[in-house]
């Protein structure tokens, strides 16, 4: 007990209460000659290793010869200094068994191939157990180790500095181990107050690997890069959801495009026009099913105490029932031909599928499992594409194709109901007008935006049908399909940009918001214009591989409407800004304006210029959208923040 013991704590935004707790716990350990060094990194933010080094240098200067390097989020309750020092007979650096998040760890070991450090959770048989490294949350070091090995490597900043130091000490011939009998608590506060923990762990593991690995180990690590990327994404639930959603969205678009190519090769334009018209008719009413409840469910439902998931599910179910009835009843008033009416009847079941899949998406989002919805959606789209193509090639009958679609969506609906029952017990569908109204009160404006956006983007198809014919609809729709296939870029941008803008806005980083909008404008302009001009100059070459006969008339149309892509992307930059700062009504105004402009202009020009009128009107409308968005952005820009 003649040892002069120094306790070194590196603090970061640590409360006075926690400091007093540590002082009290240490005073109960039975020490005689000791000193506590609190190194506060809050203002300097030099990193954990730098803080430890400051403490070590002070303690060495004061004549101490044993150093307990500790995190401030540990507890020494029920520990005696005499017991702690017993391991010093066997080791030069040692620690204790660490209890963290309900599990106990006994030091760590280094993967000999990957040079990565991992904690040991299997209890060893012996009390004094040799390990590769000791957790930096409580590490006891003798002075002679520091004399020979030196101080901690400050370039690590945070994490892996303990692994590095122990590795160097072991190479220098020192013994490292854990006293498995003694247990201390580690509260792991860094997990909640350091959102960059996974990044630091990945970065510093790579640094450690590059510093000490052999050429053979480096080659092996290069080969397993795809697996490493997957492992790192899996640790970060946001990125797992984000990348999975986008990857499967692209794959779904690809499947839809393949299906489209087969359909236009099997069926003439007038028949494909029926196919497009049926889906366009249903899509006019589908926004009613959501009623803005997706945004409501993801943002507000977790915070609502009076509402539960079943309330939202019930709300969406009754909306889908209304849409189903409206779809069927509308067939008695709209003068479609009999074939078109039958196809619309078959796909009216999609209203129920849309309702339940949307509910599943909300539920999975709330439990951070969006990736599951992406996988489920892709599997269904794959099966749908396969059977639609198969039946189209075998029968060449559009009604049989829609019958198969009806059957597949029916089976999908049964699966969704069963899956919802498994992840959300006691699901009940009840009609509760009071609860429904409380949802509508918040979600209605998102519904209106979705409805007007859908209507203005589909109005030209209906007007072409009634002012021209179904063949014209088929040609125009086949060109538009390429633009729709690229719209995943808009979704990808919104998903990646909006959370960042929200974060900046919450932190009142108004200058960063303005800077991001400028950078995004330049970046998206470049990307989208490259794609658009690529289509413009090379569409004659590659589209001849897909388009035959009358479908070749769609190529000049595509060369016009493809320039909607950069306009829509750039407009989405400002739409995200309006969402974040609470100016949602501007977006609603633009959607209403677009609908009026689109319908009016098409009524005037379609009779004379056919689908060329619709193409240019669509393009001009997006130009106006962008200009008005920029105007309102500049209007609020000056006083923003």
Domain total of the chain: 3
Q: What is the pLDDT of residues 206-223, one digit of tens each?
A: 888 888 888 888 888 888
pTM as predicted: 0.55
Please tell me the distance from the alpha carbon of residue 401 to that of residue 422, in angstroms, as a whole number: 32
pLDDT band, very low/low/confident/very high, at 443 (cuts 50, 70, 90): confident
In a domain, 465, yes or no: no
| Residue 555 three-state SS | helix
Note the pLDDT of residue 241. 64
Per DSSP, helices labelled H in 153-236 are 161-171, 190-193, 197-212, 215-223, 225-235
Name the domain boundary from 212, 247, 279: 212
Residue range(s) defining the domain that contains residue 13: 5-212
Residue of 406, 437, 408, 415 whose CA lies nearest to 314:
437
Please tell me the distance from the alpha carbon of residue 9 to that of residue 593, in angstroms, as a whole number: 62
- Contacts with 13 (C-beta within 8 Å, 6 or more apart), sequence order: 42, 193
| Residue 161 three-state SS | helix
In a domain, 613, yes or no: yes
The two structure tokens encoding residue 22:
């540590």
What is the rounded end-to-end Cα distance, in angstroms, of the chain? 61
Looking at the fold, whether 353 and 208 belong to one and the same domain comes out as no
Name the domain boundary from 179, 212, 245: 212
The two structure tokens encoding residue 533:
């001009």
Q: What is the pLDDT of residues 105-153, one digit of tens each?
A: 998 898 888 888 888 888 888 999 999 999 988 999 999 999 999 999 8
Residue with tokens 């993801």: 298
In a domain, 230, yes or no: no
In a domain, 321, yes or no: yes
Q: What is the pLDDT of residues 73-84, one digit of tens each?
A: 888 888 888 888
- The proportion of the chain whose per-residue pLDDT surpasses 70, expressed as a percent, equals 88
Per DSSP, helices labelled H in 267-369 are 269-283, 287-290, 293-299, 309-330, 338-347, 350-366
Q: What is the pLDDT of residues 52-74, one digit of tens each?
A: 999 999 999 998 989 999 988 88
In a domain, 125, yes or no: yes
Looking at the fold, whether 539 and 580 belong to one and the same domain comes out as yes
Mean pLDDT over all residues of the chain? 84
DSSP 350-390: HHHHHHHHHHHHHHHHHTT-HHHHHHHHHHHHHHHHHHHHH
Please tell me the distance from the alpha carbon of residue 204 to that of residue 127, in angstroms, as a whole number: 31
In a domain, 334, yes or no: yes
Angle, to 10 degrees, between the axis of helix 584-637 and the axis of helix 564-580?
Answer: 90
Looking at the fold, whether 57 and 183 belong to one and the same domain comes out as yes
More confident residue, 624 or 286: 624
Note the pLDDT of residue 492. 66
Looking at the fold, whether 155 and 84 belong to one and the same domain comes out as yes
Residue of 564, 542, 587 whose CA lies nearest to 484:
564
Residue of 348, 290, 343, 291 whose CA lies nearest to 324:
348
Name the domain boundary from 212, 245, 262: 212
The two structure tokens encoding residue 233:
């994404």
| Residue 224 three-state SS | coil
Note the pLDDT of residue 389. 95
Looking at the fold, whether 547 and 501 belong to one and the same domain comes out as yes
- Count how many Cα atoms sit within 13 Å of the Cα of residue 432 in the half-sphere of its side chain: 15
Run of H or E including 447: helix 433-467
Looking at the fold, whether 531 and 631 belong to one and the same domain comes out as yes
- Contacts with 176 (C-beta within 8 Å, 6 or more apart), sequence order: 91, 92, 93, 94, 107, 130, 131, 132, 133, 134, 166, 169, 170
Answer yes or no: are the C-beta atoms of 639 and 585 closer than 8 Å.
no
User: What is the arithmetic mean of pLDDT over 523-529?
Assistant: 88
Please tell me the distance from the alpha carbon of residue 176 to that of residue 87, in angstroms, as a whole number: 10
Looking at the fold, whether 198 and 284 belong to one and the same domain comes out as no
pLDDT band, very low/low/confident/very high, at 192 (cuts 50, 70, 90): very low
User: What is the arithmetic mean of pLDDT over 517-544?
Assistant: 84
Q: What is the pLDDT of residues 342-401, one digit of tens each?
A: 999 999 999 999 889 888 877 776 666 777 888 898 999 999 999 999 999 999 999 999
- Using the Cα atoms of residue 58, residue 63, residue 65 and residue 66 in order, give the sign of their dihedral: negative
Note the pLDDT of residue 305. 58
Question: Out of 326-340, 374-388, 487-501, which region has the weakest mean confidence (pLDDT)?
Answer: 487-501
Q: 260 exposed, middle or buried (CB, 10 Å; 0-12, 13-18, 19+)?
A: buried
In a domain, 464, yes or no: no
Residue of 117, 130, 132, 138 whose CA lies nearest to 52:
138
pLDDT band, very low/low/confident/very high, at 296 (cuts 50, 70, 90): low
pLDDT at 525 over 60: yes
Note the pLDDT of residue 191. 46
- Contacts with 228 (C-beta within 8 Å, 6 or more apart), sequence order: 221
Angle, to 10 degrees, between the axis of helix 237-266 and the axis of helix 370-395?
Answer: 10
Run of H or E including 56: helix 48-61
Looking at the fold, whether 400 and 519 belong to one and the same domain comes out as no
Rounded to 5 degrees, φ, ψ at 593 are: -60, -45
Rounded to 5 degrees, φ, ψ at 2 are: -85, -5
Task: Specify the CATH number for the domain of residue 161.
Answer: 3.90.550.60
Note the pLDDT of residue 195. 47
Looking at the fold, whether 208 and 240 belong to one and the same domain comes out as no
- List b or e across 16-36, with b for residues whose CB sees 16 or more CB atoms inside 10 angstroms: eeebeebeeebeebebeebeb
Residue of 199, 270, 335 whose CA lies nearest to 551:
270
User: How many angstroms separate the Cα of 591 from the Cα of each of 386, 450, 565, 585?
Assistant: 36, 9, 17, 10
Looking at the fold, whether 83 and 196 belong to one and the same domain comes out as yes
In a domain, 472, yes or no: no
Looking at the fold, whether 18 and 62 belong to one and the same domain comes out as yes
State the pairing for strand pair 5-11/34-40.
Answer: parallel
pLDDT at 236 over 70: no
Looking at the fold, whether 183 and 307 belong to one and the same domain comes out as no
Q: What is the pLDDT of residues 461-491, one digit of tens each?
A: 888 888 988 888 888 888 887 888 788 777 7
Answer yes or no: are the C-beta atoms of 351 and 286 closer than 8 Å.
yes
DSSP 542-587: HHTTT--GGGGGHHHHHHHHTTHHHHHHHHHHHHHHHHHTT-HHHH
pLDDT at 193 over 50: no
pLDDT band, very low/low/confident/very high, at 45 (cuts 50, 70, 90): confident
Q: 287 exposed, middle or buried (CB, 10 Å; 0-12, 13-18, 19+)?
A: buried
């Amino acid at each position: 007990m003649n040892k002069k013991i120094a306790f070194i704590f590196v603090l970061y935004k640590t409360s006075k209460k926690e400091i007093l707790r540590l002082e009290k716990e240490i005073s109960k350990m039975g020490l005689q000659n000791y000193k506590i060094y609190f190194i506060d990194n809050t203002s300097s933010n030099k990193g954990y290793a730098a803080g430890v080094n400051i403490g070590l240098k002070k303690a060495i200067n004061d004549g101490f010869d044993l150093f307990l390097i500790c995190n401030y989020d540990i507890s020494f309750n029920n520990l005696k200094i005499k017991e702690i020092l017993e391991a010093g007979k066997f080791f030069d650096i040692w620690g204790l068994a660490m209890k963290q998040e309900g599990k106990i760890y006994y030091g760590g070991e280094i993967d000999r191939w990957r040079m990565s450090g991992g904690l040991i959770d299997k209890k060893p048989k012996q009390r004094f157990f040799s390990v590769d490294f000791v957790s930096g949350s409580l590490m006891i070091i003798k002075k002679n180790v520091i004399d020979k090995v030196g101080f901690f490597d400050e370039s690590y900043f945070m994490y892996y500095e303990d692994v590095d130091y122990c590795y160097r000490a072991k190479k220098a011939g020192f013994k490292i181990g854990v006293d498995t009998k003694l247990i201390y608590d580690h509260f792991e506060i860094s997990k909640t107050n350091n959102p960059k923990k996974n990044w630091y762990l990945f970065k510093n593991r790579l640094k450690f690997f590059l510093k000490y690995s052999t050429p053979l180990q480096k080659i092996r690590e290069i080969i397993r890069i795809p697996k490493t990327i997957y492992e790192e994404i899996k640790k970060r639930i946001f990125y797992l959801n984000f990348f999975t959603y986008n990857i499967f969205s692209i794959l779904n678009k690809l499947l839809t495009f393949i299906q489209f190519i087969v359909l236009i090769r099997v069926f003439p334009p007038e028949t494909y026009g029926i196919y497009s018209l049926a889906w366009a008719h249903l899509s006019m009413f589908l926004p009613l099913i959501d009623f803005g409840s997706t945004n409501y469910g993801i943002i507000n439902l977790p915070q609502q105490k009076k509402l539960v998931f079943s309330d939202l599910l019930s709300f969406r179910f009754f909306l889908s029932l209304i849409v189903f009835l409206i779809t069927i009843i509308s067939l008695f008033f709209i003068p479609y031909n009999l074939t078109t009416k039958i196809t619309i009847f078959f796909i009216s079941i999609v209203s129920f599928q849309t309702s339940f899949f949307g509910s599943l998406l909300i539920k999975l989002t709330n439990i951070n499992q969006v990736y599951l919805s992406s996988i489920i959606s892709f599997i269904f789209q794959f099966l749908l594409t396969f059977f639609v193509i198969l039946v189209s090639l075998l029968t060449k009958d559009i009604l049989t194709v829609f019958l198969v679609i009806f059957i597949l969506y029916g089976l999908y609906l049964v699966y969704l109901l069963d899956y919802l029952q498994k992840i959300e017990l006691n699901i009940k569908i009840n009609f509760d007008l009071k609860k429904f109204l409380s949802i509508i009160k918040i979600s209605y404006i998102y519904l209106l935006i979705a409805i007007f956006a859908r209507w203005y983007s589909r109005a030209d198809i209906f007007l072409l049908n009634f002012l021209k014919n179904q063949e014209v609809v088929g040609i125009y729709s086949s060109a538009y399909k390429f633009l729709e296939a690229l719209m995943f870029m808009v979704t990808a941008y919104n998903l990646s940009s909006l959370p960042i803008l929200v974060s900046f806005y919450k932190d009142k980083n108004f200058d960063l918001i303005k800077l991001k909008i400028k950078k995004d404008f330049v970046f998206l302009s470049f990307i989208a214009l490259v794609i658009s001009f690529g289509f413009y100059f090379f569409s004659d070459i590659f589209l001849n591989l897909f388009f035959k006969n009358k479908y070749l008339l769609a190529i000049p149309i595509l060369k016009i409407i493809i320039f909607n892509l950069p306009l829509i992307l750039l407009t989405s930059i400002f739409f995200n800004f309006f969402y974040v700062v609470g100016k949602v009504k501007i977006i609603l105004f633009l959607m209403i304006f677009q609908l009026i402009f689109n319908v009016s202009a098409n009524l005037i020009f379609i009779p004379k210029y056919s689908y060329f009128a619709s193409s240019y009107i669509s393009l001009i409308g997006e130009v106006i959208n962008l200009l008005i968005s920029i105007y309102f952005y500049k209007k609020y820009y000056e006083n923003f923040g």
